[in-house]
A and B are shown apart, each in its own frame.
Chain A
Amino acid sequence: MNYGIVSQEQLEQIDTILSSKLIKLGVDCVIIIDMAGNIITAKDNGESKYDVYSFAALAAGNFATVDAMAKLVGEAEFSLLFHKGQESNIHFSKIDDELLLISMFGKDISLGFLRLNVVEAIEQIRKVWEGSKD
């Protein structure tokens, strides 16, 4: 299967992972995007109202910028990208060279706890993704 097309089955599996690993913990909104700013899937707790399309375009730009800066200073990448606010936080994590997982969460979740769960979710998502490639 070509990258750029995900099957219904894959998306359902990914959505289940996002729900059980992240939304259940209290994460407000999780989005998977590609590096071009397309949305692969978005899940939220039913309350948040983000403009996910604009968000994806900005997030891809933001990630690409930081990545380009890393290369300029001779780093392969900056592995952690995290924006902290008063009420909400945004955490970026690379799934692979093409995909990003973005979590938006409030102040009742600690970064460490979130990261742990993001890592697990990403491992599972990679399996779904790779399973489809062959």
Chain B
Amino acid sequence: MSFINLKDKVVQVKIVYYGPGRCGKTTNLEYINRKFRSQIQSEMVSLKTHGDRTLFFDFLPFDMGKIKGYDIKIQLYTVPGQVKYNATRKLVLKGVDGVVFVADAMEKQREKNIRSLNQLHENLQAYKESIFKLPLVIQYNKVDLKEHGVPILPTAVLRKDLNSRLKVPDFEASAITGYNVAATLKKIISSTVVSMQKKLL
């Protein structure tokens, strides 16, 4: 649940980037950190292993400006994607307001995407949240690899695998070139803020 401070008129919104290992969650945040530097007051915090895999989370606070007189502070998190880290993934999901599910478009990652999405569903249930109700955006990442001859799944297939029941907004993207990284972010922020306004009214 987002936290609303009526005294200082600040709303804190927690958005989590979730997805299988090496799908590009951290790369999304790194791109946002570079691209929107002027709206970001602090350094990105990354708790990672020596091999640059996320160990606990990345954290990037981000100022959205004002909506209805309230300062909106977006807090972006990533989870560690490696299978063995589910306990920490769960901890990061605590109090989440919106999720970006980052899928890896590489052909060989097909099963991993599905398994990761299923686990997101279970992990949210542990907090009595529903994947069908929580603001959610799906990103099919690494589409740039096609140009390099790496086999990637057609978006229609990814959609069928991951988004046929959820029917949430989705984007092809490349976190490394920045393609649709901002579009994904804007979409999840707007879905989350709309759902929060509903809760407030």
A11 and B6 form a contact (CB under 8 A): yes
Q: How far is the CA of A60 from the CA of B3 in the complex (A)?
A: 14
Q: Please name all residues of chain A whose beta carbon is closer than 8 Å to the beta carbon of B7 when the two chains form the complex.
A: 6-8, 11-12
Q: Does B95 contact A (CB under 8 A)?
A: yes
B94 cross-chain contacts in A, Cβ below 8 A? 35-36, 60, 64
Q: How many residues of B contact A (CB 8 A)?
A: 29
Tell yes or no: A48 within 8 A of B by CB.
Answer: no
Contact B45 A58 (CB under 8 A): yes
Q: What's the Cα separation between A39 and B4 when bound, in Å?
A: 9
Contact A57 B59 (CB under 8 A): yes
Residues of B within 8 A of A44 (CB): none
Contact A53 B42 (CB under 8 A): yes
- Considering the complex, which residues of chain B in the window 47-96 have a beta carbon less than 8 Å from any beta carbon of chain A? 47, 56-57, 59, 61, 73, 75, 77, 87-88, 91-92, 94-96
Interface size range of chain A in the complex:
20 to 34
- List 9 A-B pairs, minimum CB-CB distance, nearest first: A36-B95, A38-B3, A8-B7, A11-B7, A57-B59, A4-B1, A64-B91, A53-B61, A38-B12
Task: Sample 27 A-B pairs with CB under 8 A, ordered by A number.
Answer: A4-B1, A4-B4, A5-B4, A6-B4, A6-B5, A7-B6, A7-B7, A8-B6, A35-B95, A36-B14, A36-B95, A36-B96, A37-B59, A37-B75, A37-B95, A38-B14, A38-B95, A39-B12, A40-B3, A41-B5, A57-B59, A57-B61, A58-B45, A60-B94, A61-B47, A61-B56, A61-B57
| B residues lining the A interface (CB < 8 Å) | 1-8, 12, 14, 41-43, 45, 47, 56-57, 59, 61, 73, 75, 77, 87-88, 91-92, 94-96
